Amino acid sequence: MGRVVVLGSANMDLVVRMPRRPEPGETLTGTRFETGAGGKGLNQAIAAVRAGADVAFIGAVGSDSFGERLRARLVDDGVDDSRLQTLDAATGIAQISVTDDGENTIVIVPGANGHEGFDAADRALVEGASHLVVQLERPATVIAEAMRFAREQGVTTVLTPAPAREGIDDLIDLSDILVPNEGEAMLLSGAPDAESAAIALSRRARTVVVTLGSRGALVAEAGEIVRRVAPRPVEAIDTTGAGDTFVGVMVAWLVAEHPLAEALDAATAGASIAVTRAGAASSMPMRDEIIAALA
């Protein structure tokens, strides 16, 4: 089994739960407030390690209590934190609003996640990996440098293009596996629907997996839809981190040399468990839970 290296963000999630979204100018009484480890990079690292992978994390936190808590979360789950730098800056935060129907909206303040640089120690970590997992909550220059280096070393690159933005064609071209959700896929491709978007993006990235939430996922390669992944209907209470769970579990299965079809089934099972629990990293299932769900 190879190693997964995640280069990404680490945020402290500040979560407000509310019955519905407030209207502009409206003050609404929430039902609960909590803090927890998050950031798309940290989430994917936690999901992968809980699903059984050997995982190392490349990122940055601030020299504050939030940074200490995020490092402890990674270490407690068994993630290699040797390349998690502590900077003289504020740790990144995400303000997350979750409504009673489980939907969420998120505002991110990057803080230390805006750190530029991909140094020799980071390269050494990637060079020894099987898969490099990245997202878009770190500077694009850092992501591109890491992906190019990984490609040169024969390391499989996995990109979650979120938060989605235009002008990342170079990153799409460097992706062995691109995992957007439906909205991200349409934004990046200019296509009017998920299927057309997957087909268009797969002419650039080697494999495109478009996640469709409660409708499952679809897979495209070389301009064709090659697989549709059935959903697992559940009663969702919090969708925060579901996409990151999907990616982390998928990569954990791939690094263990399971075929993509099995990895996607496991990823769907993992995400279906996560949405039945509150929180992001805290909601992510262990490997034995995923295996039981697949049985």
Tell me which residues are annotated as active site: 244
Cβ contact 78:49 at 8 Å: yes
Q: How far apart are CA 15 and CA 94, in angstroms?
A: 8
Q: C-alpha angle 128/132/136, rounded to 5°?
A: 145
Structure-block tokens of residue 113 = 């996640």
Helix axes 40-50, 65-77, angle to 10 degrees: 20
Cβ contact 17:105 at 8 Å: no
Continuous H helices in 153-240:
169-173, 182-189, 194-201
Q: Residue 107 burial by CB count (10 A; 0-12/13-18/19+): exposed, middle or buried? A: exposed
Neighbouring-strand partners of residue 54: 3
State phi, psi for 173 to the nearest 5 degrees.
Answer: -65, -25
End-to-end CA distance of the chain: give it in Å, rounded: 23
Q: How far apart are CA 51 and CA 284, in angstroms?
A: 9
Neighbouring-strand partners of residue 61: 86
**Residue the block writes with tokens 């999901």:** 47
Neighbouring-strand partners of residue 38: 11
